[in-house]
Chains A and B, each alone.
Chain A
């Protein structure tokens, strides 16, 4: 599960980098927004994901 999320973080960072390097200001801003999502996911993952079945 951790590896999967980390791959997702990687994809988000790649997209964000592409957007930040583009010429339009709006895209750059969207890029930083995507970047912040990547950071959130990374922090959640580094804290440790729960293993096993869910309670419901």
Chain B
């Protein structure tokens, strides 16, 4: 038990409140937010090492023992995601500092971003399903403000849709929670798991599980993604990159958590549904990515393909597939942030959004061109980069589980990702230069720094996978054998006794 677990939630909340009072002091706001994020990164590294030594950690707020009080539980899976999410957020924030207009920065960009990060971290770390709902709301409320930041007409239109969809989704979440409480009588995730295991393949619990599936699919963009391409293409680049990197991943975290820990009781129904939804998402994402002519649309549909691919790993559910899910989730955060930053920069440099109207960018901005190339290779899963290992592990799991259709779809989608991005690369970066040297917008080296850092991260995650392996193996083991998690949260004998009764 350690008090450190609560810091990734509480520190950004406190600094966000502080920053509201520093509205006019933009430099101070920048420094404080960067420091906050770096602090959380350090904390999560310490937590990871400590979890490796002492197993899953938890903190009971005010000393109320679970299942009565609310607790935060840090296992390797949650902590790894906190770590990567905050690294990506830090890099996106650097990009925002370099490129964002002062007007936006003074409109409370930093406080809202920090609140969103707090919600994201809280969702990863919480061990209580109602608290998960609360953290989701913290994250969403901040994102409502961020998506409409600037208040352009198109932003307000998309923000309205985004807010409504999420309010309805949150309402379904509440209804699902009410049903869950009525059925099993507890809200602590470990305790729910115990009660669900006792009940076995109870049809009522399966129904509740399916409602949760709908909720989290809406949040993650799994099949119910109709809101996603529109709302991810309107906010300023740094915010769009943060959304693409973090928000859908929280939905996916919730899906992974609920279908490994909470509802593994009836996989014939729930995991089949997950598999079908993942397959359809990939097909729809591929169609969207191929048919788009707008770079932002292509990037948004690439998010969907990533979502579908990760959920294939969850639907397969073997231990190696779960390892693949963890690697791919981390990779996807980095790569999607990189893709959205690159796309945003292309729009900034050319003033165009349609790929046919850009050409020969690589002659004007060679380094930027090759950074885009790295992002493309990483998303397609080309070996030394980070996407490769996740794809291999998910593929291996799919073969072990005999899910050949999903396997085929998953690897087919990699080709489509490569093709759709190669189309951007060939038509916008190669070809005849249409921007003459006099007209080209200056691109200071420092603006390329965030993209370069993300490129370093994707190389690091690919080459340094060996170093990360013990953490990922531990995380996958905890997901695969829920009893490790339950033992850490509830006292061992207490729940064993309950099962035997």
Q: How far is the CB of B220 from chain A (nearest CB, A)?
A: 22
Contact B164 A20 (CB under 8 A): yes
Please report which residues of chain A, range 18-48, place their CB below 8 angstroms from some CB of chain B when the two chains form the complex.
20, 25, 28, 32, 35-36, 39, 42-43, 45-47
B168 at interface (Cβ–Cβ under 8 A)? yes
A35 is contacted by which of B168, B178, B181 (Cβ under 8 Å)? B168
B175 is contacted by which of A20, A25, A42, A47 (Cβ under 8 Å)? A42
B21 contacts across to A, CB distance below 8 A: none
Contact B171 A36 (CB under 8 A): yes
Give the nearest-CB partner of B181 in chain A. Answer: A46
Q: How far is the CB of A31 from chain B (nearest CB, A)?
A: 9
Q: How far is the CB of B134 from chain A (nearest CB, A)?
A: 14
Q: How far is the CB of B211 from chain A (nearest CB, A)?
A: 12
Please report which residues of chain B, range 166-205, place their CB below 8 angstroms from some CB of chain A when the two chains form the complex.
167-168, 171, 174-175, 177-179, 181-182
A32 contacts across to B, CB distance below 8 A: 164, 167-168, 171
Please report which residues of chain B, range 438-464, place their CB below 8 angstroms from some CB of chain A when the two chains form the complex.
none
Interface size on A, residues (CB 8 A): 12
Contact A47 B168 (CB under 8 A): no
Give the nearest-CB partner of A25 in chain B. Answer: B160
Given contacts A46-B182, A47-B181, whether A39 and B164 have CB atoms under 8 Å apart is no
Q: How far is the CB of B413 from chain A (nearest CB, A)?
A: 34
A45 contacts across to B, CB distance below 8 A: 178
Contact B164 A43 (CB under 8 A): no
Q: How far is the CB of B162 from chain A (nearest CB, A)?
A: 13
Q: How far is the CB of B204 from chain A (nearest CB, A)?
A: 12
Q: What is the number of contacts between chain A and chain B, taking CB atoms within 8 Å?
A: 30
Complex Cα gap A32–B144 (Å): 16
Scan B388-424; emit 1 where CB is below 8 A from any A CB, else 0. 0000000000000000000000000000000000000
Complex Cα gap A36–B171 (Å): 7
Give the nearest-CB partner of B163 in chain A. Answer: A32
Contact B181 A39 (CB under 8 A): no
B164 is contacted by which of A28, A36, A42, A46 (Cβ under 8 Å)? A28
Contact B178 A43 (CB under 8 A): yes
Contact B167 A46 (CB under 8 A): no
Contact B168 A42 (CB under 8 A): no
A46 contacts across to B, CB distance below 8 A: 178-179, 181-182
Scan B479-495; emit 1 where CB is below 8 A from any A CB, else 0. 00000000000000000
Complex Cα gap A45–B179 (Å): 10
Complex Cα gap A31–B178 (Å): 20
Complex Cα gap A49–B181 (Å): 14
B171 is contacted by which of A25, A28, A35, A47 (Cβ under 8 Å)? A35
Complex Cα gap A20–B172 (Å): 15
A43 is contacted by which of B160, B168, B174 (Cβ under 8 Å)? B174
Complex Cα gap A25–B175 (Å): 24
Q: How far is the CB of B395 from chain A (nearest CB, A)?
A: 41
B175 contacts across to A, CB distance below 8 A: 39, 42
Complex Cα gap A43–B164 (Å): 21
B174 is contacted by which of A20, A28, A39, A47 (Cβ under 8 Å)? A39
Q: How far is the CB of A13 from chain B (nearest CB, A)?
A: 9
Q: How far is the CB of B187 from chain A (nearest CB, A)?
A: 11
Complex Cα gap A36–B168 (Å): 10
B164 contacts across to A, CB distance below 8 A: 20, 28, 32
Please report which residues of chain B, range 137-180, place their CB below 8 angstroms from some CB of chain A when the two chains form the complex.
160, 164, 167-168, 171, 174-175, 177-179
Q: How far is the CB of B67 from chain A (nearest CB, A)?
A: 16
Complex Cα gap A45–B181 (Å): 11
Give the nearest-CB partner of B160 in chain A. Answer: A25
A47 contacts across to B, CB distance below 8 A: 181-182
A43 contacts across to B, CB distance below 8 A: 174, 177-178, 181
Q: B164, B174, B178: which has the most chain A beta carbons within 10 Å? A: B178
B177 contacts across to A, CB distance below 8 A: 43
Give the nearest-CB partner of A42 in chain B. Answer: B178
Q: How far is the CB of B337 from chain A (nearest CB, A)?
A: 32
Contact B168 A39 (CB under 8 A): no
Q: B160, B174, B181: which has the most chain A beta carbons within 10 Å? A: B174
Q: A36-B171, A46-B178 are in contact. List 19 more A-B contacts (CB 8 A).
A: A20-B164, A20-B168, A25-B160, A28-B164, A32-B164, A32-B167, A35-B171, A39-B171, A39-B174, A39-B175, A39-B178, A42-B174, A42-B175, A43-B174, A43-B181, A45-B178, A46-B179, A46-B181, A47-B182
6 A-B pairs closest in CB distance? A46-B182, A46-B178, A43-B178, A39-B174, A42-B178, A32-B167
